[in-house]
Amino acid sequence: MTARMRRRSPRQRMAGQRGLTLIEVLISVVILLAALLGAAGLIARSNQSEMESYQRVQALTLLQDMVTRLNANRQAAACYAVAGTMTTAGNGGTSVPSCTTGTAAQQTLAQADLAAWGTELMGSAESSGASAVGAMIGARGCIEAIDTTNQIYRVTVAWQGLVKTVSPSLPCGSGGFTNDAYRRAVSVQVRIGVLS
């Protein structure tokens, strides 16, 4: 150390560092704000992903429900979908095809199954006040007769997602949402075995 530095009082030595502490605090605040904004964005994206996942699970549950109903009433499977037309249920209305196969009780059961599936797609399984909230946003179900000879049917559930993706190629719910890029769909083909 030089003699000149020794003679300076502590106050004189601090004079050269005035404002440095304030700048350090401001930089720390900016870094903290950037981290908090990043955390807020991460939480928002996490909530979106959680909602998308919840809706997909609900769709798969409702899809399996209709597949089970279709298999249980296999003698009147043609009552669920007629070749060339798509049976729809849920938001957007329920279309029930006219049916002549099976007994009157089986035909009635098919109509009741479609009506029950339609109300489940609209969220009747869970309610908040007077509102049905137990399903996906804009849920819609479709049943198509793919091959009437071999009794192959396609059951599809479509709903509106929260973020845009590639729109599905399945026709169920197409054009029924603000933008088709928000539409999600899951489907399964069901082959009804002929039991003798």
pLDDT in tens, 141-189: 999 999 888 889 999 999 999 888 888 999 998 888 888 899 999 999 9
User: What pLDDT score was predicted for residue 108?
Assistant: 92
Phi, psi torsion values for 187, nearest 5 degrees: -150, 165
Q: Considering the entire predicted model, what is its pTM?
A: 0.76
pLDDT band at 125 (very low <50, low <70, confident <90, very high): low
Region 57-78: what's the mean pLDDT? 93
pLDDT band at 15 (very low <50, low <70, confident <90, very high): low
Instruction: Answer yes or no: is pLDDT of 18 > 70.
Output: no
* Percent of the chain with pLDDT strictly greater than 70: 83
Region 1-28: what's the mean pLDDT? 69
Highest mean pLDDT among 23-27, 82-86, 96-100, 128-132: 23-27
What are the structural domain ranges in the chain?
A: 53-191
Whether the Cβ atoms of residue 159 and residue 184 lie closer than 8 Å to each other = yes
Instruction: Answer yes or no: is pLDDT of 91 > 60.
Output: yes
Beta bridge partners of 153: 145, 190
Residues 6 or more apart whose Cβ sits within 8 Å of residue 188: 63, 67, 154, 155
pLDDT band at 97 (very low <50, low <70, confident <90, very high): confident
User: What pLDDT score was predicted for residue 93?
Assistant: 75
DSSP at 77: G
